[in-house]
Amino acid sequence: AQKITQTQPGMFVQEKEAVTLDCTYDTSDQSYGLFWYKQPSSGEMIFLIYQGSYDEQNATEGRYSLNFQKARKSANLVISASQLGDSAMYFCAMRDFSLAYQGGKLIFGQGTELSVKP
Amino acid sequence: DGGITQSPKYLFRKEGQNVTLSCEQNLNHDAMYWYRQDPGQGLRLIYYSQIVNDFQKGDIAEGYSVSREKKESFPLTVTSAQKNPTAFYLCASSTGTGELFFGEGSRLTVL
């Protein structure tokens, strides 16, 4: 069965510093995608970044980058130059493309609460 | 602007009552989803639909029902059979291969 594990319930980082949020996943399939979402206290889910299992380069989107280590089955999110507005819950999620007729559903981890200190 | 609209944002229910949460999208997406989120937890899939008039159970479908009569709409009914319905409910849509786009959520409290 597919599973996403986020082992850090909470993290603190100083403003302007970089922070890494850990995510490991478990799947026996070769074709899958990994996503990171941000959830502020308002509750909305904001898509941050995506990495496909066949992508050779790590994904980057502005201050966000994904440290993808396929052999270790990890997909850590790196936020550079943290800002106060980065304080939120962060969720790692996976879609298994090899599953037919699954409607593109995502499986989510438990989340990491990031607090940015001024 | 394209997006997903959930209503109501807050809902209170007495035990034994059914309630329906609305979800409408104008992104022209085929796939739609309902997730439940409990405090400090991740999202768990309740139901999903890949196409009009078709839907499948997710991991925690018991006590919930859905319909997909129109492409734009995917309402969720929380029935009296759901033993612990107090939670935050998130609706989402996607093309099926891209990211999920989420609504702002509906917070249901059972009194």
pLDDT digits (tens, 9 = 90+) for B31-81: 999 999 998 889 999 999 989 999 999 999 999 999 999 999 999 999 988
Q: Provide the token pair at B23.
A: 């979800």
Q: Is A42 touching B (CB cutoff 8 A)? A: yes
A61-72: pLDDT as tens digits? 999 999 999 999
Q: Which amino acid does the sequence have at B66? A: V
- Given its phi and psi angles, is residue B40 left (phi above 0), alpha (psi -120 to 50 degrees) or beta? left
- Given its phi and psi angles, is residue B63 left (phi above 0), alpha (psi -120 to 50 degrees) or beta? left
Q: Provide the token pair at B41.
A: 């937890």
In terms of CA atoms, which chain A residue is nearest residue B100? A47
Per-residue pLDDT band at A107 (split at 50, 70, 90): very high
Nearest-neighbour CA in chain A from B4: distance (Å): 11
- What is the full DSSP assignment across B53-90? TEEEE-TT-TTEEE--SBTTB--EEE-TT-S---EEEE
Query: According to the model, what pLDDT value does residue A103 have?
Result: 66
A75-85: pLDDT as tens digits? 999 999 999 99
Query: According to the model, what pLDDT value does residue A104 have?
Result: 77
